Amino acid sequence: MTEQTEAVTRDNGPEPFRLGYCLLVSAIGIAGIIAIALIDQYLGAETRSIPVIAAMDYVAHLATTFILLAAFLRVVSYYFLAGAVVGSLILDVGHIPILLSDIEFTQITSRPSSHSLLVALVFILPILLARGRYQALFVGICFGNAFHLFRDAATGGIPLWWPFSASSVELAYAPYVMTLTIFALMPMAGAFIAKSNVSVIMTDSSRTHAKPDQSPREQQNQSSA
């Protein structure tokens, strides 16, 4: 394993597949999905104040990032995880100029140009220049950016192709929730699959080392002796 790979991953052996840990991660993931659904329903019910919108949307973005990385939490590095957390929020800096202007902004119905593919791709350049842990950090930021755009596309749309097109790209909410559900269940499914494979291997091993049945002639010779 190269130094760069070690910076992105952690070698924990079979630990990522411990059943109790994986069940806990999946349970937290499902709880996160419920929280996200409640937040989106609350924000969409009526006009909310800007601090409330920002705080609750940040929670939903962090929950989305956790769920999409749930199956990999014990194998990716802490630098990658830190980068993913930063990337899941950093695109919202584009809202600051809007908040400081005279434009009335009471709820998130559209996103600024920072929510575009071009801006997200800016973080790819540091990946090519950085090494080791810092490279893992920027890789995590890129993943966090992707998760941020994924959620925002499902909750109002994003100017994905800015500056080439000002049209908003939207994703249906149901695929977003379904994707989160699949990723939330992955740790639990992986644990059961790993446990099943270990059981099969141990069973086959016990059969290999078991003493074969004696033939009638061998039994007769043993009794005569």
17-50 burial, b at 16+ Cβ within 10 Å, e below that, comes to: bbeeebeebbebbbebbeebeebbeebeeeebee
Q: How does pLDDT run across 11-55, given as a tens digit for each residue?
A: 444 455 578 888 999 999 999 999 999 999 998 877 777 788 888
Q: Which of 144, 193, 179 is nearest to 29 (CA)?
A: 179
Contact (CB, 8 A) for 127 and 142? yes
Contact (CB, 8 A) for 163 and 113? yes
Region 88-100 average pLDDT: 77
198 — pLDDT class (breaks 50, 70, 90): very low
Work out the widest C-alpha separation in the chain, in whole angstroms.
106
> Quick one: which H or E segment has residue 170?
none
Say whether pLDDT at 79 is over 70. Answer: yes
| Highest mean pLDDT, choosing among 39-48, 84-93, 95-104 | 84-93
**Considering the chain, what percentage of its residues have pLDDT values greater than 90?**
38
**The whole model's pTM is what?**
0.76
| pLDDT value at residue 176 | 96
Q: How does pLDDT run across 119-177, given as a tens digit for each residue?
A: 888 888 889 888 889 999 999 999 999 999 999 999 988 888 888 887 888 999 999 99
Say whether pLDDT at 205 is over 70. Answer: no
Kindly report the backbone phi and psi dihedral angles of residue 153, in degrees, each rounded to the nearest multiple of 5, phi listed first.
-65, -30
| pLDDT value at residue 216 | 53
Mean pLDDT of the chain: 79
